[in-house]
Structure formats: structure tokens, C-alpha cells
Amino acid sequence: MRVKVFFVMAVALLWPVTVFSDTKVTPDFPVTSFLSGNDLFHVCSDGRDAVRQLCEAYVEGVADTIFAVNAMKANGYAIPSTCPPKEHLAPDQVKDVVVQYLTAHPEKRHEIAAGHALLALQAAFPCK
């Protein structure tokens, strides 16, 4: 269960970064990503339990982030914009940013994880 929570957090952290890529989903919608659809398909198609849990955690993390964004919109909050560098950004760096944010705000850790990830990334990589 602890592994599943870790992967959900990782996905929640990585999803907001996906809006900044050179990979094309459609001709007019550039996105950046740490994983491709092929990567996710292979993980989700793998029969091993530990690998399947990674797939479930990733999908749950993406859904968690969507729910958080929708809740923010419904409550009149602006969705945090973040502009991470397009090059040389490693998944470990994204994780470190969020862990540092969570360490600095222990009084709010009971709140939605995806919201914390969005706020942490916004603070670390503000748009100019």
C-alpha cells in the first residue's frame, strides 16, 4: 500500500508538467511528458503485480489531479500556472520540489496531494 501511495504522489507531481513539451499529441497541442502512451500501455499490460500497481497508481494520480483542478475551478480558485524548464528537468527534481514544499508545510499535509504538487511546482517554476 505504501508503494501505491508513493506512485500516486509521483503522478500527481508529474501531471502538471505535461503541459510543457515538444511532443505533439495533436498538431496544435504541444505537450511535455516523462512517460509516453506506449510507456503507460506497456506498464498497464504487464502481468506482474508490482508493475500493475505502478499503472494503477499512475492513472489514479492523474485522476486525483484532475479532481483537484476541477475542485479549485468550482471554488473560484485560479489554477496555478507553472513553467518548468523544457530541457534538463528530471523526475527526481520534480519530486524534490514537492517534498521540499511538503516539508515546509506540515500543517497542510492532510489536504489533497495534487493541490500541493501544483502549488509546489508553481512556486519553484513560476511563469514570467
CA pair distance 13, 122, nearest whole angstrom? 11
Q: How confident is the model over 84-106, as a mean pLDDT? A: 89
Residue 13 has pLDDT above 70, yes or no: no
Residue 9 has pLDDT above 60, yes or no: no
CA pair distance 94, 84, nearest whole angstrom? 9
pTM of the model: 0.64
